[in-house]
Amino acid sequence: MVDAEPDGGSGPLGRMKMQKAVANMPGQVREELTRRLRRNEGAFREEDVQVVERPLLKRAVGASALGNCMEWFDFGVYSYLAATVGKVFFPGASPGAQLISSFATFAAAFVVRPLGGLVFGPLGDRIGRQKVLATTMIMMAAGTFCIGLIPSYDTIGIAAPVLLLLARMVQGFSTGGEYGGATTFVAEYSPDRRRGFLSSWLDFGTFVGYALGSALVTVLNLALSDDQMLSWGWRLPFLIAGPLGVIGLYMRLKLEESPAFQQQLDEHEKHMAQESAGSELRTIVRKYWRPLLICMGLVLLYNVTNYMVTGYLPTYQTETLGRSTGFADLLVLVGMLWIVLLITFLGRLSDRVGRRPLYAVGAAAMIVLAVPAFLLLKSDGTVAPVLGVLLLSTLLACFAAPSAATLPALFPTAVRYAAMGIGFNFAVAAFGGTTPLFTEALVNATGNDLVPAYYLVVAGVIGLITVRFLPESAQVPLRGSQPMVGSRAEQQELITTSEQLYDFAEERSATR
C-alpha cells in the first residue's frame, strides 16, 4: 500500500517519513492499525492480509466477464433488431408504434430487474455468490434462446408478443442478480491496489458482448434481404445464446467462493438465522440509505449514457435522422470498439488517481459536450458523425470503467450482494432501460431531435451532485474485509510497513 523506509525511526528525518507514510496510507488500513494499537494487538500478521492466488483471480474475472458479455450480446442484438422485432411481433401498428412497442418490451425486462435483485441479492449473501451467479447464467441463456424460437404474430397471433414479453421478463429477472453479483464477486477477489483495473474487465465483457451482437446483426443485414431478415434471419443471434450459456455455466461452476465471503461466512450465517430476507432488506434500506442513494445516482449517470448510446442510438439514426441501417450499425459499432480499447486503461487510471476524479470529470464533460456531440452526430458526411459517436463513447467509458470497483465498495461484505441488488437494479429499472422508450416518445412528441442530448445533460448534473458525496475507494480494502494483495511479496511489504507505522505510533504515544 505504502512505500516508506524509515532512517533510524526516531530521528527527525525518520519521523518526517513516518508522518508522511501515515498520511498517505489508505484510510481503512490506517484506522485498522489505530484500532490495533489501542487494543495492543500489534501490527498486521500474515493471517490479517489476504493473498489472492493469480489462477483463481483470472478464473473469477474471466467467468464473471463472460456473463456480462452474454447479457450484452443479447442487448446489442435486441437494440439493433428493434425495428425488425417490431414488424415481426406488432405488424398491425404504424412504424412509430411498432418501434415504441418494441422498446416497451425491451423496457419490460428492466421493470422486473428489481424483483430479481430482491430475490437473488439476499440469496447471494446467504448461500454464496458462485451458486447464484451459476443460476442467473442458466436463466439468461434460456430466456434469450427462447426469443429465437417464438413464432411470429402472423403465425400465433397475440400469443407471440405475450411470449416475447415473458421471455424478456425471464431475462430481466435473472439480470437482477447478474451484474450486482458479478461486480461483488470480482471486487471481493481483487487486490486493493488493482481493483479498478481488474473490475473494469467486467464492463470490457459488456461492450465486447454488445459489439459482437451488433456486428453479427450488421453482417446479417448486409448478407440477407429484408424479407429473409423478417422471415428467419432475426432469430439466429438469439439462438447463439444457448451454446454461450453452456460455456458460461461450466466456467462459473468451476469457481470458488470469494475470500471476503468465506471470511465472514460463519458470522453472517448466525446473523441471518435470526433475520428473514424481508427484514434483512428493510435493515439495509434503513441502515445504508446514504450509500444506496449514492449507488443509485452513479448507476443513473452510467446507465442513462449507456442505454442512450447502445440501446437508442442505432434506432435514432435510422428512424429520426433517416440514415441507412448499415451506416447506423457501423457507426455505433465503431463507438463500442473505442470503448473496448479505452475501458481497462481508464480502470487502471482510477486505481492511480481515484474513482471520484474520473466520475467528476466525465459528468462535467457530459454536461458541456452532450449537445455538441449530438450536433456532430446529426451532421452530413462521415467524419462529423464518427466524432460525435466517439465523444459519447469516451464519456460512457469514463463511467463504465470505475463502476464495478466503486459500487460494491459502498457496502460491507455481509450485505453487499443484497444492497447492490436494491441500489443497482432499482436505478437501472427507473432510469436505464427506460431511456430508449422515454427518449423515442419525447422525440415523437416534441419533434426535437436534440432531446437525447438534453436527457444526457440532466443525467450529468445528477451524477456530478452524486460524486460530491462519494467516498474514495481506490486502493482501500472493501468495507468489513481484510486488506487484499496479489502476491506474497505485497503481503510482506504491507506487514513491514504496518510494523513501522505501529512502532512509530507507539513512539508518538509514549512521548505525549
Q: What is the pLDDT of residues 118-150, one digit of tens each?
A: 888 888 878 878 888 888 888 888 888 888 899
Q: What distances in angstroms separate CA 245 from CA 163, 327, 333, one per listed residue?
A: 21, 31, 24
* Cα distances (angstroms) measured from residue 446 to each of 223, 411, 441, 451: 36, 41, 9, 8
Closest CA to 173 of 123, 109, 126: 109
On whether the CB atoms of residues 150 and 160 are closer than 8 A, the answer is: yes
Cell of 197: 483495473
Q: What local confidence, expressed as pLDDT, does residue 215 receive?
A: 83
Residue tagged 427484514 (cell numbers): 279
CATH class assigned to 48-485:
mainly alpha
What pLDDT, on the 0 to 100 scale, is given for residue 9? 45
Instruction: Specify burial of residue 269 (Cβ count, 10 A radius: 0-12, 13-18, 19+).
Output: exposed
pTM, two decimal places: 0.80
Is the pLDDT score of 23 beyond 70?
Answer: no
In b/e form, how buried is each residue of 362-386, taking b as 16+ CB within 10 angstroms?
bbebbbebbeebbebbbeeeeeebb
What percent of the chain stands above pLDDT 70?
A: 85
Distances (CA, A) of 27 to 46, 471, 482: 20, 11, 13
Q: How confident is the model at residue 6 (pLDDT cuts 50, 70, 90)?
A: very low
- What is residue 386's predicted lDDT score, i.e. its pLDDT? 94
Count Cβ atoms within 10 A of the Cβ of residue 412 and give its class: 0-12 exposed, 13-18 middle, 19 or more buried.
Answer: middle
Residue linked to cell 465471503: 261
How far apart are alpha carbons 425 and 174 in whole angstroms?
11
pLDDT of residue 360: 96
Separation between Cα atoms, residue 153 and residue 155, nearest integer Å:
5
pLDDT tens track for 51-105: 887 888 888 888 888 877 877 787 678 767 877 888 888 887 767 677 677 777 7
